[in-house]
Amino acid sequence: MADLAKKEKPARSKAEAQGNYIFNRKWEPVLYMLPFALGLLVFTIYPIVRVVIMAFQEKYRLSGRYDGFGLYNFQYVLGNDDFRNAISNTFIYVFTVVPIATILAILIANLLNQKIRGMAIFQTAYFLPMVTSSIAVGLSWRYIFNSQIGVMNWLLSLFGIEAVDWLGASGGVAPWNIVAVIIFGVWNMLPFTIILLLSGLQNIDPMYYTAAKVDGAGSRKIFFRITVPLLAPTIFLTMIINMISAFKVYNEIIPFWSGRPGAINNLYTMVYFIKEQFYSKDRLGFASAAAIILFLIIFTFTMLQRYVQRKFRY
Amino acid sequence: MDFDDGKLTALLGPSGCGKSTMLNMLSGILPVTEGHIWFDEDDVTNMPPQDRGVGLVFQNYALYPHMTVLENIAFPLEIKKVPKAERIEKAKEMARLVHVDQLLDRKPGALSGGQQQRVAIARALIKEPRLLLLDEPLSNLDARLRLEMREEIRRIQLRTGVTTIFVTHDQEEAMSICDKIVLMKDGVLQQEDGPQELYDDPANLFVANFLGNPPINNVEGFIRDGAFVTKDEAVTIRYRNFPKELPEGREVILGIRAEAAIISRDETHDFTSVIKTRSTIGKEELAQLNLGEQEIRVYLSNEYEDEPGQAANFHLRRKGVFLFDKETGERL
Domain membership flag for residue A67: no
Nearest to A70 by CA among A83, A60, A84: A60
* ipTM of this predicted structure: 0.77
Reported confidence tier of residue A292, pLDDT bands at 50, 70, 90: very high
Cβ-defined contact of B107 to A314 (cutoff 8 Å): yes
Candidates A213, A216, A229; nearest CB to B66: A229
Lowest-confidence region among A16-30, A137-151, A181-195, B249-263: A16-30
Nearest to B229 by CA among B256, B198, B251: B251
| Phi and psi, residue B174, nearest 5° | -65, -45
Candidates A214, A225, A314; nearest CB to B65: A314
Provide the pLDDT for residue A226. Answer: 92
Candidates B54, B60, B127; nearest CB to A207: B60
Domain membership flag for residue A12: no
Residues listed for chain B: 332
Q: Is the pLDDT of residue B238 over 90?
A: no
Domain containing A281 — which CATH number?
Answer: 1.10.3720.10
pTM, whole model, 2 decimals?
Answer: 0.76
Domain membership flag for residue A106: yes
Q: Is the pLDDT of residue A11 over 70?
A: no
Candidates A210, A217, A314; nearest CB to B79: A217
Chain B contacts of A219, Cβ < 8 Å?
none
Question: Which residue stretches of chain B are H helix?
Answer: 19-27, 49-52, 69-79, 84-97, 113-125, 143-160, 171-177, 195-200, 205-210
Lowest-confidence region among A116-125, A215-224, B169-178, B273-282: A116-125
Chains A, B: CB pairs < 8 Å: 57
Domain membership flag for residue A166: yes
Domain count, chain A: 1
Provide the pLDDT for residue A85. Answer: 92
* CA quadruple B122, B124, B127, B128: dihedral, nearest 10: -90
Reported confidence tier of residue A14, pLDDT bands at 50, 70, 90: low
Chain B contacts of A230, Cβ < 8 Å?
64-66
Q: Is the pLDDT of residue A1 over 60?
A: no
Residues of A with CB under 8 A from a CB of B: 205, 207-208, 210-217, 221, 225-226, 229-230, 232, 312, 314
B65 touches chain A (CB under 8 A): yes
In whole angstroms, what is the distance from residue A31 CA to residue A101 CA?
44
Q: What are A92-118's pLDDT values in tens digits?
A: 999 999 999 999 999 989 888 887 777
Domain carrying residue A156: 86-311
How distant is the Cα of B173 from the closest Cα of chain A, in angstroms? 25
Provide the pLDDT for residue A4. Answer: 46
Chain B contacts of A314, Cβ < 8 Å?
65-66, 107-109
Cβ-defined contact of A221 to B27 (cutoff 8 Å): no
Q: List all residues 6 or more positions away from A280 whose beta carbon is below 8 Å from its beta carbon.
A: none
| Phi and psi, residue A246, nearest 5° | -70, -35
Q: Is the pLDDT of residue A26 over 80?
A: no
Domain membership flag for residue A2: no
Closest chain B CA to residue A218: B79
Provide the pLDDT for residue A20. Answer: 67
Q: Is the pLDDT of residue A242 over 50?
A: yes
Could you say which DSSP state residue A115 is in? -
- Mean pLDDT estimate for chain B: 86
Nearest to A293 by CA among A250, A262, A248: A248
- Mean pLDDT estimate for chain A: 85
Q: Is the pLDDT of residue B318 over 60?
A: yes
Provide the pLDDT for residue A218. Answer: 85
In whole angstroms, what is the distance from residue A261 CA to residue A269 CA?
8
| Strand ranges inside chain A, DSSP E | none
Mean pLDDT of B238-252: 81
Cα angle B139, A313, A127; round to 5: 100
In whole angstroms, what is the distance from residue A304 CA to residue B219 CA?
74
Q: Is the pLDDT of residue A7 over 70?
A: no
How distant is the Cα of A99 from the closest Cα of chain B, in angstroms? 22
Q: Are B160 and B133 in contact (CB under 8 A)?
A: no
Q: What are B189-230's pLDDT values in tens digits?
A: 888 888 899 899 898 999 999 988 888 999 898 888 888 888
Domain membership flag for residue A27: no
Q: Are A102 and A94 in contact (CB under 8 A)?
A: no
Q: List all residues 6 or more positions away from B295 whose beta carbon is below 8 Å from its beta carbon.
A: B276, B288, B289
Provide the pLDDT for residue A17. Answer: 62
How many percent of chain A have pLDDT more than 70?
Answer: 92
Domain membership flag for residue A132: yes
Mutate to test the interface with B, among A215, A222, A226, A312 (most CBs of B within 10 A): A215
Provide the pLDDT for residue B2. Answer: 76
Mean pLDDT of B178-192: 88
Cβ-defined contact of A216 to B75 (cutoff 8 Å): no
Provide the pLDDT for residue A78. Answer: 92
Candidates A207, A213, A215; nearest CB to B75: A215
Cβ-defined contact of B66 to A314 (cutoff 8 Å): yes
In whole angstroms, what is the distance from residue B73 CA to residue A211 CA?
12
B299 touches chain A (CB under 8 A): no
Domain membership flag for residue A40: no
